Amino acid sequence: MTQPLRPGVDVNEANAPINLIETEESRVLKAALGHRAIVLVGMMGAGKTSIGKRLAQRLAVPFNDADAEIERAAGMTIPEIFASRGEAEFRLGEQRVINRLLGEGASVLATGGGAFMNADTRRRIAESGLSIWLKADFDVLMRRVKKRSNRPLLQTEDPEKTLRDLIDQRYPTYAEATLTIHSRDVAHEVIVDEIISELSAHLGIGLPMTKTSSSDLVKVDLPGRAYDIVIGSGLLESAGERIAALGKGVSAAIVTDETVAQHHLAALESSLRKADIRFAPIIIPPGEKSKSMTMLTKVVDGILEAKMERGDLVVALGGGVIGDLAGFAAAITRRGMRFVQIPTTLLAQVDSSVGGKTGVNSDHGKNLIGAFHQPSLVLADVDCLDTLSKREFAAGYAEVMKYGLINDAPFFNWLEAHHEGVFAGGPDRVHAISTSCRAKAAIVMRDEREEGERALLNLGHTFAHAFERIVGYDGARLVHGEAVAIGLCCAFRFSQRLGLASGQDASRIERHLEKVGLPTNIQSIPGWNAGSEQILEAMAQDKKVKRGRLTFILARGIGDSFIAPDIDPSDVRSFLDEHLAS
Ligand SMILES: NC(=O)c1ccc[n+]([C@@H]2O[C@H](COP(=O)([O-])OP(=O)(O)OC[C@H]3O[C@@H](n4cnc5c(N)ncnc54)[C@H](O)[C@@H]3O)[C@@H](O)[C@H]2O)c1
């Protein structure tokens, strides 16, 4: 028997008692689950125990860890059981323990990596439980299991190969689980949110997102350049206080555009005044055309004229154009000033304000002049989005979707179910923004200067940048996020043409984009008359070109993108010809 969940019981840490606090959410979910246990399956290192504990807490049910139970029943550790009795004996014991734990009713049960491979155990789980596969990528698993030496199956000469072989062997069976959740390096709460949301969709109970509050904090933990991304309501009002905390007696040059100034500058100024911060606004015309060398000179002059010193701050109040331009101005003025991002478009809140890419466009192409320069703080005030046009909000949504398409299929599923909430505002919006920021922060922390994985963030962008260039960055015809929406469709249709992704996935993406009012094909760009040759020419100036070959981000499916560094331009040409003719 497992230890009953009562305070003061001396049980193994893994099965330690948790406080069972009922909420409306837990009551509704438990009523739908009945006596079924939620059974977490997946590889070692997928997070079954840590996520399982939090999930149990959220559902207010007991948590059981099959491995911990086996160890307790045998009075020895799993490596000892393997060594003294062999794997076959261990599997039999495991089957018995899982059988028993399943009989105990509503609970969360974390199982060992091999448990679900047993057909009897799978059948038993299907009868008395609901299985969830925590699916993690090889790299994530390897990093996590390296930290622990108690994995008997990995005690081989080549643990990497062993892990890859286990993945190949087991993933087709794990895929039989009722639900699949992508386990990755994000806060456990995020994964738990996704499990709850998938569960509620599966059980047909349409649970509102009750957990996500109206604020969140994401940390970008770069050595020596760590910073916080604060997401929530009313942040403009507290900006002064937060900026003052960055340095005693700092002054601030606020860079913003005319439209944003009209809506939000007064609130920021009043907050800075309250915090006794000297400031000087630098206001420029709105639009992509302002991301230019001419405007950069004006901004730098403005900062210097306002007598900002090296220890002072540049504050970027606006969309991605302002963030990129002001960030670059900060990077080069007085050989580098610190800067704060206060993003006011959805696109800037979920993408451009995070990660430190700053720069301006050149006549030769987009973002060709720039620097990596991380902000010291990002304040994403969701209230600012209330003044944004529906068109600009939708454009930012394309970048939100991008994160699901890159490596997070459950997030894409969630967006399909919750996009109305994201557009309406409230907790769903905050959840979408923080999930996006977490995804971007995780990639930036692993590859700050885009030497590898960070390129995934360019999914759809090689196409998008070419379209923007061809329309001369004319926002009336095409804004960046709309170009990205079409670019995402092109990336998936191109992947389909190369035999990588299914047409169903591409259609699903197009349907979702259409639902939120975003364009999905090149011909829908007003006044479009360029052919494949012109698009290829525009792509050739992209930073992703090496010796005539193009780097594209392609996909094997939703949530499964990868970098394809050696694409033959003639394949792109044929694809574009077909696409333009369709
Ligand atoms: N640095 C990066 O990592 C990165 C990532 C993605 C995109 N970008 C860049 O971001 C830029 C696009 O950003 P964007 O879409 O935010 O464009 P943007 O900055 O031009 O803003 C779009 C429009 O919305 C207006 N606006 C901004 N906030 C508003 C508000 N709260 N209320 C009303 N109007 C408001 C602006 O005046 C502008 O007219 C592109 O230049 C792109 O290259 C950079």
The DSSP output letter for 262 is: I
Ligand 1 pocket check for 505: Cβ under 6 Å:
no
User: Helices 503-515 & 390-407, crossing angle to 10 degrees?
Assistant: 160
- State pTM to two decimals: 0.69
Task: Tell me the C-alpha distance between 512 and 510, whole Å.
Answer: 5
Q: How far is CA 295 from CA 300, 301, 302, in A?
A: 9, 10, 10
SS3 574: helix
What's the CA gap between 313 and 484, in Å, rounded?
31
Is 487 near ligand 1, meaning CB less than 6 Å away? no
Task: Name the closest-CA residue to atom 21, ligand 1.
Answer: 319
Say what the pLDDT of residue 203 is: 87
**Cα–Cα distance between 62 and 106 in angstroms, integer?**
8
pLDDT in tens, 300-317: 999 999 999 999 999 999
The tokens describing 105, both together, are 């009713």
Please choose from 259, 440, 447 the residue to mutate so as to test ligand 1's pocket, defined by most ligand atoms within 8 A of CB: 259
Give residues with Cβ within 8 angstroms of 176, minimum separation 6.
116, 122, 131
CA distance linking residue 427 with residue 212, whole number of Å: 6
Q: What are the tokens at 422?
A: 């994201």
Distance 564 CA to ligand 1 centre (A): 28
Predicted pLDDT at 221: 86
pLDDT, residue 208, reads 52
Phi then psi for residue 10, to 5 deg, are: -85, 90
Beta strands in 105-178 (DSSP E): 108-110, 129-135
Give residue-wise pLDDT tens across range 201-230.
Answer: 788 876 654 444 456 788 898 988 999 999
For the Cβ of 318 lying below 6 angstroms from any atom of ligand 1, the answer is: yes
Closest CA to 322 of 368, 297, 270, 358: 358
pLDDT digits (tens, 9 = 90+) for 6-63: 222 233 344 444 556 777 788 889 999 999 999 999 999 999 999 999 999 999 999 9
Residues in a beta bridge with 379? 230
Q: What atom in ligand 1 is closest to the CA of residue 355?
A: 3
Residue 385 CA: nearest ligand 1 atom is 31
Angle between the N-to-C axes of helices 24-33 and 48-59, in degrees from 0 to 180, rounded to the nearest 10: 100
Query: What's the pLDDT score for residue 307?
Result: 98
In tens, the pLDDT along 162-183 reads 999 999 999 999 999 999 988 8
- For ligand 1, is residue 354 a contact (CB within 6 Å)? no
Amino acid 1: pLDDT: 33
Helix residue spans in 246-389 (DSSP H): 258-260, 266-274, 293-305, 320-332, 346-347
Mutation probe of ligand 1 site: the residue of 347, 437, 467 with most atoms within 8 A of C-beta: 347
Kindly report, residue by residue over 92-119, the tens digit of the pLDDT.
Answer: 999 999 999 999 989 999 999 999 999 9
Backbone phi, psi, residue 46, to 5°: -80, -10
Q: Decide: 388 in ligand 1 pocket, CB within 6 A.
A: yes
Residue nearest to atom 22 of ligand 1 (CA): 319
Low-confidence ranges of the chain (pLDDT < 70): 1-20, 148-150, 152-153, 206-215, 542-548
Mention every residue, 6+ apart, whose C-beta is less than 8 A from residue 364.
Answer: 541
